[in-house]
Structure 1
Amino acid sequence: MNGLRSRYDVLIAGGGIVGCYVAYFLKQRNPGTEVAIVEPDPTYEYASTVHASGGARRLFSCPENIEMSNFSIDRIKNFAEEMAVDGNPAPIDWVEQGYLFIVTGSNALRMLEENADVQRSLGADIRMLDRQGLKQLLPSMHVDDLDGAAYSPKDGWCDPNSFLQGVRKKCKALGVEFIKDRVGGFTWSSGRINGAALASGTSLAADHFVNAAGAWSAQVSAMAGMYLPVSPLRRFEHYFTGQRQIEPLPYVKDLNRLAFRSEGQGFSGGLVNSDEPRGFNFEVDHHYFDEVVWPALAHRFPTAFEGVKCHRTWSGLYEQCELDGNPIIGNWTGNHENFYVATGFSGHGMMHAPAAGRGIAELIDKGRFESIDLSRLGYERVIRQAPYPERGIL
């Protein structure tokens, strides 16, 4: 155990990007707050963030997600300066090359247009494209079976590992303690969690507890008697090259969950299988790219991907919210009210971590959301079994 204290103001289970941002904003609000993060694997071998694609976009339908993206993307763009330590910047290689959602069918197109109205009302630069507009933007794309697209030119992607390591290093510089251990249980009385038992046998007390354990968050909450509809969902990311050079791509995404983007001299992306059995499975299926991803790529960009070479495939976990695919951000109102969760991002955790971390810090400090009202993403909807899903966006 690295920490020397037996009691903290806030104890966070999970040292990934979400947990680190909770700690960061707690320290920003009150530098004297004693914050500890319990993380069993500081190498982050199985952490979701380091296996992510790095994308950050405003193409959502729920206003909360759009507003979180607005905030988070601004922080990502200014990350190198904000997270500098001792004058040393923290670059994360932001690439502002846009996002493109492509759809087939009048109903899907109408849904994109309605979503775009909401996005624009919240300040996003969204451009609707027809087939001709798509062909002008991406001459190599096969568009005959498409009815349109939403293009968000100010979105993009960054290096997720540098993102995580940068905020983690900043947290350490601000005095956040990182404890290499695993939460093994909680104790409570009078409606409040009062202690966490660690796997090492150590017990830590705190005034507030945060579950930011990602794909493991359901197990952590269960120790406090709290049910979370969050499951680990394996997904693959691939780095591949085509047989011919084509124009630089934005992050291209369709409703079948094909999603890929330019990456150096090649491309990075994949196609998520929503029916993948849930569980902590990190095995790589080396046939998946040829059997599932490549046909979709070759159909959409035949010139480039009729011949394609996959150089690397890796697996990671989504913390899939089985209720509605949206994150659960808030405390356990009416029960252990000093127990907070920030989880279930379903593939959007990296891009929304800054905003979610700030939201939890506001709840802990002031008992309410002060910047973005995330109440509809709170745990109450789980209790009520009242889904609040995105419209046509995965």
Structure 2
Amino acid sequence: MTTPLRTKYDTVVMGGGIIGSAIAYFLLKESPGLSVCVVEPDPTYEFASAVRASGGCRVQFTCPENIEMSKFSIDFIRNFEATMASNGRPAPVDWVEGGYLFIVPPENAESIQRNVAVQQAHGCVVNLLTPSELKERFPSMYVDDLAYGAHTPHDGWCDPNGLLWGFRRKAVELGAEYVQDRVKSADCDSIKVRSITLESNVKLEATSFVNACGAWAGLVADMFGMKLPVTPMRRFEHYFTAGSPVEHLPYIKDVARLAFRSEGAGFSGGLVNGNEQRGFNFDVDHDYFERVVWPAVAHRFPAFEAAKCHRTWSGLYEVNELDGNPIIGSWTGGLANLYTSAGFSGHGMMHAPAAGRGMAELILKGRYESIDLTNFGYARVHSQTPYAEAGIL
């Protein structure tokens, strides 16, 4: 729709990507009959971060909230096709339980041992493998410079586009209204948001407003006078093949942020440059694979000495510059009815189900009931106290 059906709603969600759609779904699942409007400027989702992502889902974190969010989200995604069927139409997401493998050199040996102990304490299946065990399981891998590999066999990946549209279709079926428009300004008093005005000059009032605008969340927050340290950062994904046969691989990640996995007859992944200039840049550097990714992947797997890159595309991380973890919750010390779910820094798709459920609990009941996400609240931004993730990002 381009015109809302009413002027006042219980909740207006700004941003109809995977996070916003998950929030809309859980709000209506928990409170049928709630009036929910989702404002999304681009229903094609051409530049949405999730649909340009690799679709990985893993429990290998150290913050308890991240681990528990992953556990819930992975189970939810595993059963997504049936659970989220809409009007008799399945919601396929092509879940692949391919596993994750974090590999570290000797200087990171103690940290990965600590990380694995934390994950196991949360009930996760994590196997700490020595170099000889890695070589036995993945014979194509060069392991002489490694100390350990942490393997989580029940992690995997899915189709991000299927996940987004599954959430959106189900939210609509439950009563969510999606409006194709963009937030232009906000009308606030000293304690709450009264309304927002869209570019079409339509004004929307609501009891609660949610900023789920992903890489654009910082710009939207500015309209409310809220300083949100979320900025867009370009990253590349590549589809490539090896020059000689390589066994099927899990999602491999290392401390230099090389990350890739098997995909069909080839492999999908890249190497994130954390120093990339911030901004809304979707230009593709077609030399990036050969210049940056190929040396790293060929070092780890010599079979990639003759790798061929078939396709490169760009996408945006919504980076929380404070600590890399998401900002979830109401505006502590600010407008009480303005909620934020943004700054996932590359983990938005995998944590969308848990983030959506948590936000719905907070809005509807005033507290978290499943996973306590208080540590991800805005209070740490206000006090400039990072709550950082010690695992490989």
* TM-score normalised per structure 1: 0.98
On the 8 A contact 2:326/2:341 being kept in 1, the answer is yes
Shift in Å, 1:98: 0.3
Shift in Å, 1:391: 1.0
On the 8 A contact 1:233/1:318 being kept in 2, the answer is yes
* Residue 124 of structure 1 pairs with residue 159 of structure 2: no
| SS at structure 1 position matched to 2:296 | helix
**Amino acid in structure 1 at the alignment position of 2:280:** F
Rounded Cα–Cα distance in structure 1 between residues aligned with 2:88 and 2:311: 36
On the 8 A contact 1:239/1:313 being kept in 2, the answer is yes
**Which residue of structure 1 lines up, in the alignment, with residue 89 of structure 2?**
88
**Which residue of structure 2 lines up, in the alignment, with residue 196 of structure 1?**
196
Moved more, 182-191 or 216-225: 182-191
| SS at structure 2 position matched to 1:306 | helix
Rounded Cα–Cα distance in structure 2 between residues aligned with 1:285 and 1:159: 24
**Amino acid in structure 1 at the alignment position of 2:290:** D
Moved more, 42-51 or 384-393: 384-393
Deviations 1:246-305 (A, max 9, x none): 1100000001000000000000000000000000000000000000000001100002x0
Shift in Å, 1:190: 4.5
**Which residue of structure 1 lines up, in the alignment, with residue 329 of structure 2?**
330
* Residue 146 of structure 1 pairs with residue 140 of structure 2: no
Rounded Cα–Cα distance in structure 1 between residues aligned with 2:89 and 2:17: 22
**Amino acid in structure 1 at the alignment position of 2:4:** G
* Residue 183 of structure 1 pairs with residue 183 of structure 2: yes
Rounded Cα–Cα distance in structure 2 between residues aligned with 1:263 and 1:92: 14
**Amino acid in structure 2 at the alignment position of 1:117:** A
**Amino acid in structure 2 at the alignment position of 1:58:** V
**Which residue of structure 2 lines up, in the alignment, with residue 293 of structure 1?**
293
Rounded Cα–Cα distance in structure 1 between residues aligned with 2:284 and 2:189: 44
**Which residue of structure 2 lines up, in the alignment, with residue 235 of structure 1?**
235
| SS at structure 2 position matched to 1:71 | helix
**Amino acid in structure 1 at the alignment position of 2:214:** G
Shift in Å, 1:392: 4.0
| SS at structure 1 position matched to 2:68 | helix
Shift in Å, 1:214: 0.2
Rounded Cα–Cα distance in structure 1 between residues aligned with 2:363 and 2:333: 16
Rounded Cα–Cα distance in structure 2 between residues aligned with 1:244 and 1:200: 56
Shift in Å, 1:333: 2.1
**Which residue of structure 1 lines up, in the alignment, with residue 246 of structure 2?**
246
Rounded Cα–Cα distance in structure 1 between residues aligned with 2:22 and 2:164: 9
Shift in Å, 1:82: 1.0
**Amino acid in structure 2 at the alignment position of 1:128:** L
TM superposition outliers: structure 1 runs of 4+ over 3 Å: none
Give 5+ residue unaligned stretches, structure 2. none
On the 8 A contact 1:321/1:346 being kept in 2, the answer is yes
Deviations 1:296-322 (A, max 9, x none): 01100002x010111110000000010
Shift in Å, 1:243: 1.1
How big is the alpha-carbon RMSD for the aligned residues of Structure 1 and Structure 2? Answer: 0.8
**Which residue of structure 1 lines up, in the alignment, with residue 209 of structure 2?**
209
* Residue 20 of structure 1 pairs with residue 21 of structure 2: yes
On the 8 A contact 2:9/2:37 being kept in 1, the answer is yes
On the 8 A contact 1:58/1:70 being kept in 2, the answer is yes
**Which residue of structure 1 lines up, in the alignment, with residue 136 of structure 2?**
136
Within a 5 Å distance, the mapping from 1:331-350 to structure 2 comes to: 331-350=330-349
Rounded Cα–Cα distance in structure 2 between residues aligned with 1:357 and 1:192: 22
Deviations 1:192-212 (A, max 9, x none): 101011011110100000000
**Which residue of structure 1 lines up, in the alignment, with residue 51 of structure 2?**
50
* TM-score normalised per structure 2: 0.99
Rounded Cα–Cα distance in structure 2 between residues aligned with 1:51 and 1:264: 17
**Which residue of structure 2 lines up, in the alignment, with residue 68 of structure 1?**
69
On the 8 A contact 1:255/1:392 being kept in 2, the answer is no
**Which residue of structure 2 lines up, in the alignment, with residue 268 of structure 1?**
268
Rounded Cα–Cα distance in structure 2 between residues aligned with 1:163 and 1:266: 23
Within a 5 Å distance, the mapping from 1:281-320 to structure 2 comes to: 281-303=281-303, 305-320=304-319
Rounded Cα–Cα distance in structure 2 between residues aligned with 1:81 and 1:262: 25
Deviations 1:306-362 (A, max 9, x none): 101111100000000100000000101232011000000000000001101111111
Rounded Cα–Cα distance in structure 2 between residues aligned with 1:385 and 1:3: 38
| SS at structure 1 position matched to 2:96 | coil
Deviations 1:87-137 (A, max 9, x none): 22111100001000000024x111111111111111110000000111111
Rounded Cα–Cα distance in structure 2 between residues aligned with 1:193 and 1:374: 23
Rounded Cα–Cα distance in structure 2 between residues aligned with 1:161 and 1:13: 19
Rounded Cα–Cα distance in structure 1 between residues aligned with 2:21 and 2:252: 29
On the 8 A contact 2:60/2:391 being kept in 1, the answer is no
On the 8 A contact 1:61/1:393 being kept in 2, the answer is no
On the 8 A contact 2:20/2:212 being kept in 1, the answer is yes
On the 8 A contact 1:109/1:149 being kept in 2, the answer is no
**Which residue of structure 2 lines up, in the alignment, with residue 173 of structure 1?**
173
